[in-house]
Amino acid sequence: MTAKNTPTVLILLGPPGAGKGTQARLLEEEFGLVQLSTGDLLRSAVAAGTEAGKQAKAVMEAGALVSDDIVLAVLHDRMEDPDTAKGVILDGFPRTAGQAEALDQLLSRSNQRVNSVISMEVEDGPMIARVAGRYTCATCGEGYHDQFKQPAKAGVCDKCGGTEFKRRADDNAKTAGARLTAYHAQTAPLIAYYEGRGVLERIDAMADIATVSRAMSDAVKRVMAT
Ligand code: ADP
Ligand code: ADP
Ligand code: ZN
């Protein structure tokens, strides 16, 4: 049973393009949890030119996984921040068995554990198009897609009115293919790992954003109620 006074730890598991970031932001708003994206943390480290960022840059551009040590260091720093007290949505972490074990150890130090893992189930083929068409608001980070999620007014962010947008260097068809390969080799085995612990829930993430959101929200409500 989840004690009400311990933070909820929710993991979103899925390949690039599955919708982890999109759904994490919606769950953040609905449940007051904080999204922790290791991809975002690593991109900030690269932009800031830190030692970790320097080491991660080429690996990310190639679509491979950054070493567990670097990822754990950036995540650990972020988890110390007080805003994570109510609970966190881990988006893109853990991605290897070593990271999953390190997470268990980190949580156990504060009597926490992983409460729920949502596996966002998708087909590989359409993920290339999702990744290649992705862009975000440069001001608030809201995610968009050339075809699947356009702002209501062209060129203006729905959330903040910003008019500048950006695309990630690794969001091209070639690198997306490498990232899918890395997902199947190194991350997909975590589905069985968490299923064995009885915390896994599978969601059909091929549906449209609103339908996936309802399924995710129902799953999180069940977890938060226990
Ligand atoms: P991830 O964080 O898993 O890599 P994102 O949430 O960034 O995925 O979504 C990838 C792209 O696909 C974004 O441009 C997003 O707007 C779009 N997208 C997300 N979910 C869906 C969906 N269910 N159907 C269609 N497009 C989606
Ligand atoms: P996506 O949303 O498309 O799944 P992310 O933003 O989560 O992509 O990750 C982008 C890149 O950052 C990955 O391809 C990888 O190089 C690196 N990265 C992010 N999270 C991790 C992690 N937990 N372990 C190793 N590398 C990571
Ligand atoms: Zn915005």
Which residues, 6 or more positions from 17, have their beta carbon under 8 angstroms from its beta carbon? Answer: 122, 126, 127, 128, 129, 130, 131, 134, 176
**pLDDT (tens digit per residue) in 115-163:** 999 999 999 999 999 999 999 999 999 999 999 999 999 999 999 999 9
Tell me which of 54, 179, 202, 222 is the catalytic residue. 179
- From CA 226, how far away is CA 2, in angstroms rounded? 6
- From CA 36, how far away is CA 11, in angstroms rounded? 10
Question: What is the maximal distance between C-alpha atoms in the chain?
Answer: 48
Catalytic residue check, 95: yes
**Confidence band of 5 (pLDDT split at 50, 70, 90):** low
pLDDT more than 90, % of the chain? 92
Identify the pLDDT of residue 225. 83
Identify the pLDDT of residue 18. 98
CA atoms within 13 A on the CB side of 15: 28
Which residues, 6 or more positions from 186, have their beta carbon under 8 angstroms from its beta carbon? Answer: 65, 95, 96
Q: In this structure, what DSSP letter does residue 150 have?
A: -
Q: What is the chain's alpha carbon radius of gyration, rounded to the nearest angstrom?
A: 17
| Mean local confidence (pLDDT), 71-78 | 93
Q: Is the peptide bond before 151 cis (omega within 30 degrees of 0)?
A: no
The answer to whether the CB of 199 falls within 8 A of the CB of 112 is: no
The answer to whether the CB of 133 falls within 8 A of the CB of 145 is: yes
| Mean local confidence (pLDDT), 159-182 | 96
Among 85, 93, 81, 73, CA closest to 112: 85
Catalytic residue check, 43: no
**Confidence band of 98 (pLDDT split at 50, 70, 90):** very high
Pocket-testing residue among 90, 91, 148, ligand 1, by greatest number of atoms within 8 A of Cβ: 148
**pLDDT (tens digit per residue) in 9-68:** 999 999 999 999 999 999 999 999 999 999 999 999 999 999 999 999 999 999 999 999
Q: Which residue has a Cα nearest atom 7 of ligand 2?
A: 39
User: Phi and psi of 170, rounded to 5°?
Assistant: -90, 5
On the question of pLDDT at 4 being above 80, the answer is no
Among 170, 195, 208, 157, CA closest to 65: 170
Identify the pLDDT of residue 110. 87
Catalytic residue check, 174: no
**Confidence band of 108 (pLDDT split at 50, 70, 90):** very high
- Interaxial angle between packed helices 124-132 and 173-182, expressed in degrees from 0 to 180 and rounded to the nearest 10: 130
Q: Ligand 2: residues within 6 Å at CB?
A: 16, 20-21, 37-39, 42, 59-60, 63-66, 71, 92-93, 95, 99, 179
On the question of pLDDT at 1 being above 70, the answer is no
How far is the CA of 108 from the CAs of 9, 72, 102, 105, 168, in angstroms?
12, 15, 10, 5, 35
| Mean local confidence (pLDDT), 67-80 | 94
Identify the pLDDT of residue 8. 92
When the pLDDT of each residue in the chain is averaged and rounded to a whole number, the result is 95
Identify the nearest ligand to the CA of 40 by its number.
2
- From CA 5, how far away is CA 87, in angstroms rounded? 10
